[in-house]
Every structure is written in structure tokens, then in C-alpha cells.
Amino acid sequence: MMVTVMMIGEVAEKTGFSVHTLRYYEKIGLLPETLRDAGGRRVYGPDVLVWLEFVERLKQIGMPIRDRVRYAEMRALGDSTISERRELLQTYRDDLAKRVASLSETLDVLDAKITTYETAAKCNGASR
């Protein structure tokens, strides 16, 4: 059976992270040290895509890179870190819930403002 392996360029293309960023992520510990081929080039399995997608989510919710690294490190340590990981995620989850609420409110504010602008434009258009 064929095992799907990827070079760094392919991972970059599939995840949207740049090649530079992927190497940077490995250096800081956000990606585990990658297997290399005979020529010293990184070889990735398909799992890395799942992990990077999750990392992207953590990034999108505003988790600073330091905490993403911390999470990655705990993940690498295995089951003994589960409760600590849960706590970390819980903190960000609660914060995220608040932010989603606040952003929804802002969405309403923007809609109201846009409506006002549309009305104003119409009135100006008619009166001038």
C-alpha cells in the first residue's frame, strides 16, 4: 500500500502556511521535529495537515504563539498533560464565547451604520 508523504512545499500549499513559516514553526516547537529523507529534506505524513488546521484555528481565536507552542509541547508529552491542556483550551474557549458575542454585537452596529449611510446618501442624492 502506498504511504502518502509530502515535501514541505506541498504541506505549505495544502495548509496555506508558507514554507518559511513551517520551518519557523518547527524551530519554535509548534511542529514536532520532522523526519528527513536521505538528502536531509523534511518528509511529512498526512497527520501534519490535521494538526496545522487546528493550529490555524488556535491562531484565529487569538491564542498567542507562545501558548500554541505550550499546547504543542504538552501534546507531545502525551496523556499526562490532558487536564492541563483542557484547562488551557477552556480558558480560550470562554474568552472566545465572549468575543463571538461582542463581535455579533459589532456586526449589528456596523449594519446600523451602513444603513444610516445608505439613507444619508439617498437624501443627499435627492436634495442636491
Please tell me the distance from the alpha carbon of residue 48 to that of residue 36, in angstroms, as a whole number: 14
Assess 38 for contact with DNA (CB under 7 A). Answer: yes
CA distance 52 to 63: 14
* Rounded distance between C-alpha atoms, residue 9 and residue 15, angstroms: 10
96-111 b/e with 16+ CB inside 10 Å = b? eeeeeeeeeeeeeeee
**Given candidates 61, 73, 76, 77, which one binds a copy of itself under the rule CB under 8 A?**
61
Residue 96: contacted member of a copy of itself, DNA, none (CB under 5 to 8 Å, by partner type): a copy of itself
Residues 20-59 that bind a copy of itself (CB under 8 A): 54, 57
Which one of 5, 7, 28, 121 is in contact with a copy of itself (CB under 8 A)?
A: 121
User: Which one of a copy of itself, DNA, none interacts with residue 24, CB within 5 to 8 A by kind?
Assistant: DNA
What does 49 bind: DNA, a copy of itself, none (CB cut-off 5 to 8 Å by kind)? none
CA distance 19 to 31: 13
DSSP designation for 34 = P
Interacting residues with a copy of itself (CB under 8 A): 54, 57, 60-61, 79, 82-83, 85-86, 89-90, 92-93, 96-97, 99-100, 102-104, 106-107, 109-111, 113-114, 117-118, 120-121, 124
